[in-house]
Chain A
Amino acid sequence: MPDLDTGHLFLTTLAPIKPGAPVDDLQTSHVQLARIALAKLPTAHQSPATNDTKYNSPFARNQRNHLARMFVLEDVVYNGRNTQNPILARIEGNDQTKPQPVDRLNAPYLVFCADIDAITQDGDPLPTNLTAEAQQDVRKSYARKLWDTMEEELTEIYSNCYGFETVKTADQFADYLDRCHVETTMPFHDYYLELPKFHNLPFKTLLYGVLAPLVVGLLALVLWLIGVSDVPLLGWSTLATWIIAIALGLLLAYGAIRFALWNGEKPLPPGKYDDLPSVLKALYVQQKMSDLYVDNQGASDQDLYDAFGKFIEEHKPYDRKSMTQTPGVISSESPKNVTP
């Protein structure tokens, strides 16, 4: 499964953390410094407890993140030795009292995962499919956006990673993060409002397409085995017919499997209104609409009509860019949480 699905990019990057400690602070290792930088990073105003804190998550400074997460991956978890049937082990001369080698990571890693809109310009519609190069462009565009909005925080975190010393500009950071990129194998995303047309497999077509030459080949084989040398009516050689037909059937079967895999790998189309600006606008409109409803309970038709007109004018439901909830907050109640 690739990084791209439902018009979102499921970005995963792993940056190896340097061993030891910086020469000017030998007391605190790079792993520790990375952890401290992460611990100091403010969370979004995403719960009543954090609603009133002074600082918001730096990821809320752009309009592309649905979710972002950074953590230190110390090592892989070790699940114990590979067990073997003792009798087999004895026969193979495998001494089970001897410790086996243990798989380890070569360094601790800073993991950065993000679920982002797969676009290169703010406001673009979500794409249904992108080439590998276009996906790289999306990643780089996103990295530049991060650099422009949170350079200070990124520098504090990533300066503990290998190879970050040369990163001084947005473009260099984009290249750096791209080197750290690994393919995401299991993206998670939200539900569709309306089910789109999925890439259903034309199962019957594939089945019959593969079976037809195979059946012809088998029939010709039977004829050939009982000594008939020519196919009745057509007059083809039975030997040539069964060989060619069965070979064709196997070739088509292989092609069908490849087609099924390729079809399965195609990204799912984006959901309607699934980009971040639409989500934020929807959250905003939903809250304001509830207020409108409450305020106009029992109002006359004319008053309701006027109020609704005012509502459209004030809250601009058709415009995703203005009068919308800012990223990283849970409510549009306070004016400071609204982008005018």
Chain B
Amino acid sequence: MSDPSVHAVADSPLVQLLTPEGVRTTSPEHAYDGSLADIQDLFRDLVMTRRLDTEAFALQRHGELGLWPPALGQEAAQVGSARALRPQDFAFPTYRDHGVVLCRGEDPVHLLSIFRGSSLGGWDPADHNVALPNIIIGAQTLHATGYAMALTIEGLVGTGDPERDAASIAYLGDGATSQGDFNEALDWAAVHQAPVVFFCQNNHYAISVPLERQTRVPIVQRADGFGLPGVRVDGNDVLACHAVTTAALQRARDGQGPTLIEAVTYRMGPHTTSDDPTRYREAAEADGWRAKDPIERVRLYLAAEGVSQDWFDGVQAEADALGVHLREACQNIPEPDLAALFDHVHVDTTPETEQQKAEYVAWRDSLEGSVA
């Protein structure tokens, strides 16, 4: 089989602002205008995201988590796009967007809790404007579209007030582009000129199925048929991801409608800790992408700019502290209480639910009594 990563990426230009060698470049329509300190912040986010990811992977291997979907290799796409959001914007992530959840300020222990089997999400999306990660492929693209339509109805678009105008962002993978929901979302967003950004991380595989089995055209070209702009970006380049997402979000907030971003990246690990990528792809392919690592190129750039080794060591120490925290916190995640879950089935609980709760509690208590 030909290299699918080459197959579908040939035709469309890719926005890139930082090469894999750590050299800043330019793009005709996009620029990253942050300071060196801003790039250091992005570097820190990248390192923290990777540490969260590798710690969680290890926790799964130690039996502390039932499953983990690694984001290894996709940190730049997640951090670059999420750091382009303003507090009033709203993100709808998937189960792999750990960097997005982290950058929004949500406690990453909640993510461990989901994959430990201790909760189904557990945070209030209103706290940091980030929805619970969606597992059903593509469903959240419609939620983001509806959220954006609501922003329009509320008049929170195009007022010119940067503290007020808002947008939503839907995260999805390449597999989701095959789903009806994604196609419906693009159509609705365009028809309603909704302030939503579709951020597709094309990591080239939907579990084992390569991109060429999902689409015959580059994902970015999907935008044309629905009547919205599409942008293709180097998904391993955090500066480029930040720049194109910033522009797309601003466009949305200004009332100019939706944008589809295709961030071309690669899932370095398995789909989840349950699968074996050696069954469906060659090692050489991953090696090629390893040379495009999203963190290493920022490290090279910062070092060339004179950022001291002490500073890098400081970030490393922070990451180590995060690792220690996650290992401890994971083991201290409280066991869910089945009895309490009955209370969340409905807002106004029903007599049937109450009755079944009472039945369960009585049964549980009788078992405890019989042991004693």
A binds B: no
Q: B: which residues have CB within 8 A of A?
A: none
Query: Which A positions have Cβ atoms within 8 angstroms of B?
Result: none
